[in-house]
């Protein structure tokens, strides 16, 4: 089955990574959603991509790590997207877990570089435990050391190797790092038929990011990828198995 991920929820339709973006993705009947997590000053998991708030609210320049959750929850991140979303704030991971149907696979990307979040892995695992969500979840990160910590804490959790460079044999790199991964998350620009075929021979799924045009989507499907990350979940309708 092709498993396409709504990237940061449905970010073309609602402010990225917020609850309305998750709701829109769910409306599209997606089977999988990707989001990013960071830590607030008081060590709460907050769902957000950038390390500072400027893109979401021009009047606010500080780093996520310097704000408490209470302060972050007062910041409007919806108006910069559309007046319709005025007053929308960033969501905690707990809030997303509370509203997300259990059958939707959740890909949580740990944002741990260039800003480092000491202990984010443990906090994340504890949260997933609390919500009984260790099964239908896939953890990824460009910070592969963070994945190693997750693996140590929760050896059965699914891990995706996320990378931006051209890797000849990413599975060998993962093995050398001591990582047991289930999927490979390459940049779509660096994805080719050979990478997909070799990955499949070794039992890894391949989910390239970020794919917003039907032409590229179809090209990757021809390579045999197992799904993609997209800002535009409507393109998934071009795959018979996803809706």
DSSP H/E element including 232: none
Residue 217 binds ligand G3P (CB under 6 A): no
Buried residues in 25-51 as b, exposed as e (16+ CB within 10 A)? bbebebbbbbbbbbbbbeebbbbbbee
Angle at 76 between CA 72 and CA 82, to 5 degrees: 150
CB of 18 to Ca ion, least distance (A): 14
What whole-number distance in Å separates Cα of residue 37 and Cα of residue 107? 10
Q: What is the spatial distance between Cα 233 and Cα 229, in angstroms, rounded to a whole number?
A: 9
CB of 70 to ligand G3P, least distance (A): 26
Residue placing its CB nearer to Ca ion in the complex, 115 or 200: 115
Cβ atoms 82, 119 nearer than 8 A: no
The entry of Ca ion, ligand G3P, none near residue 229 (CB within 5 to 8 angstroms by kind) is: ligand G3P
Considering the rule CB under 6 A, would residue 209 count as an interface residue with ligand G3P? yes
Q: Of the two residues 4 and 210, which places its CB atom closer to ligand G3P in the complex?
A: 210
For residue 166 the two structure tokens come to: 């051209």
Gap between the Cα atoms of 147 and 194, Å rounded: 25
Token duo for residue 147: 């994945």
- Select from ligand G3P, Ca ion, none the partner in contact with residue 185, using the beta carbon and a kind-dependent cut-off of 5 to 8 Å: ligand G3P
DSSP state of 51: S
13 near ligand G3P (CB under 6 A): no
- In the list Ca ion, ligand G3P, none, the entry touching 16 (Cβ below 5 to 8 angstroms by class) is none
Q: Is 162 in the site for ligand G3P (CB under 6 A)?
A: yes
Q: Is 7 a catalytic residue?
A: yes
Closer to Ca ion by Cβ: residue 210 or 242: 210
**Residues 6 or more apart in contact with residue 169 via CB below 8 angstroms:** 198
Could you confirm whether 200 is annotated as catalytic? no
Instruction: State in angstroms the smallest separation of the CB of 46 from ligand G3P.
Output: 15
Out of 24, 49, 158, 205, the only residue in the binding site for ligand G3P (CB under 6 A) is 49
Pairwise CA distance, residues 144 & 142, whole Å: 6
Question: Considering the complex, what minimum distance in angstroms separates the CB of residue 87 from ligand G3P?
Answer: 25
- 91 membership: H or E segment, kind and range: strand 91-92
Tell me the residue number closest to Ca ion, measured at CB. 109
Looking at beta carbons only, is 71 or 221 nearer to ligand G3P? 221
Structural element, H or E, at residue 10 = none
Please check whether residue 106 is in contact with residue 100, taking contact to mean a CB–CB distance below 8 angstroms: yes
Question: What x-and-dash track marks residues 81-120 binding ligand G3P by CB under 6 A?
Answer: ----------------------------x-----------
Q: Which of 49, 51, 190, 200 is catalytic?
A: 49
What residues make contact with ligand G3P under the rule CB under 6 A?
A: 7, 34, 36, 49, 109, 140, 162, 185, 209-210, 229
């Amino acid at each position: 089955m092709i498993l396409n991920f709504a990237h940061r929820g449905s970010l073309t339709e609602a402010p990225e990574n917020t609850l309305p973006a998750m709701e829109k993705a769910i409306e599209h009947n997606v089977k999988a959603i990707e989001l990013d997590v960071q830590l607030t000053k008081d060590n709460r998991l907050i769902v957000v991509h950038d390390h500072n708030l400027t893109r979401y609210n021009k009047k606010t320049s500080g780093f996520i790590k310097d704000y408490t959750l209470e302060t972050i929850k007062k910041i409007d991140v919806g108006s910069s997207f559309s007046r319709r979303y005025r007053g929308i704030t960033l969501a905690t991971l707990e809030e997303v877990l509370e509203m997300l149907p259990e059958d939707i696979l959740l890909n949580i990307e740990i944002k741990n570089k260039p800003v480092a979040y000491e202990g984010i892995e443990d906090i994340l695992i504890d949260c997933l435990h609390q919500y009984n969500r260790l099964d239908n979840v896939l953890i990824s990160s460009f910070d592969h050391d963070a994945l190693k910590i997750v693996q140590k804490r929760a050896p059965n959790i699914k891990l995706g190797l996320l990378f931006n460079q051209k890797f000849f044999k990413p599975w060998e790199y993962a093995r050398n790092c001591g990582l047991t991964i289930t999927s490979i998350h390459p940049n779509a620009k660096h994805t080719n038929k050979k990478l997909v075929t070799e990955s499949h021979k070794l039992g890894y799924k391949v989910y390239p990011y970020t794919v917003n045009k039907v032409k590229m989507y179809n090209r990757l499907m021809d390579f045999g990828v197992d799904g993609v990350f997209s800002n535009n979940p409507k393109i998934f309708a071009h795959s018979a198995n996803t809706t």
